Structure 1
Amino acid sequence: MLAPAKASQVSTDMMVSVRDHAGRKSLVIHGGGWLVKRFFFND
């Protein structure tokens, strides 16, 4: 069995980044190193 300690650590390690790819921006939300959500938008 895996130790549940890692799951509690992941919830506190959040990161949000915005990247620009040739005029198309992407909002990326990471949780514990895993890709949670990714949004693409044009402005």
Structure 2
Amino acid sequence: MVSHEFRTPLAAILSSSDLIEMYWDKLNEEKRTSLLAKIKYQ
């Protein structure tokens, strides 16, 4: 069983990456880079 400490950040990363994928074409390069960095360092 995965502990709560891992599931919560993982859920945030997965939902963030899903949103980025959905709106990729609408995001400018600066926003893409910023959002991907947030996922990377979360």
- Indicate the structure with greater helix content: 2
Q: TM-score scaled by structure 1? A: 0.29
Q: Which has the higher Rg, Structure 1 or Structure 2?
A: 1
Q: TM-score scaled by structure 2? A: 0.29
- Indicate the structure with greater strand content: 1
Higher relative CO (CA 8 A, sep ≥ 6), structure 1 or 2? 2
